[in-house]
Amino acid sequence: MKVAIYGLKASQKQKEYFQSFFRELTNRNISFTIDRDFKSILESQLSLELTESGVFSSYTDLQKDIDLFFTFGGDGTILSAATIIQDKNIPIVGVNTGRLGFLATINVEFLFESLDAIFSGDYKLSSRSLLSIHSDEIEIDLPFALNEVALTRRETTSMITIEAHLDGEFLNAYWADGLIISTPTGSSGYSLSCGGPIIHPENKSFVVTAIAPHNLNVRPFVISDDSVLDLKVKSRVGEFFLSMDARNKPLSSTVHLQIKKASFQIHIVEPKDKTYLITLREKMFWGSDRRN
Taking the domains of the chain in order of start, what are their residue ranges?
2-123+271-284, 130-263
pLDDT for position 146: 98
Per-residue pLDDT at 292? 62
pTM, full prediction: 0.93
- Cα atoms in the Cβ-side hemisphere of radius 13 Å centred on 155: 7
End-to-end CA distance of the chain: 48
User: What is the number of alpha carbons within 13 Å of residue 218 lying toward its C-beta?
Assistant: 19
* Cβ-Cβ contacts under 8 Å for 113 (sequence gap 6 or more): none
Blockwise average pLDDT, block size 10, the chain, 292 residues: 96 92 94 96 93 90 94 96 97 89 88 93 96 97 97 90 98 97 97 96 97 94 98 94 95 97 97 90 85 68
Active site annotation includes 75? yes
What is the Cα–Cα distance from 98 to 8, expressed in whole angstroms?
Answer: 13
> What pLDDT is recorded for position 92?
98
Please tell me the predicted confidence (pLDDT) of residue 73.
95
- Residues 154, 250 contacting (CB under 8 angstroms): yes
- What is the CATH number assigned to the segment(s) 2-123+271-284? 3.40.50.10330
What single-letter amino acid sits at 190?
Answer: Y
Task: Give dist(CA 110, CA 128) in Å, integer.
Answer: 24
pLDDT for the residue 30: 95
Q: Regarding the domain with residue range 130-263, which homologous superfamily does it belong to in the CATH classification?
A: Probable inorganic polyphosphate/atp-NAD kinase; domain 2 (2.60.200.30)
Q: Which of 165, 287, 289 is nearest to 231 (CA)?
A: 165
Q: Are the C-beta atoms of residues 140 and 249 closer than 8 Å to each other?
A: yes
- Tally the C-alpha atoms within 13 A of residue 280's C-alpha that lie toward its C-beta: 14
Q: Of 35, 75, 177, 230, which is the active-site residue?
A: 75
Residue 1 pLDDT: 93
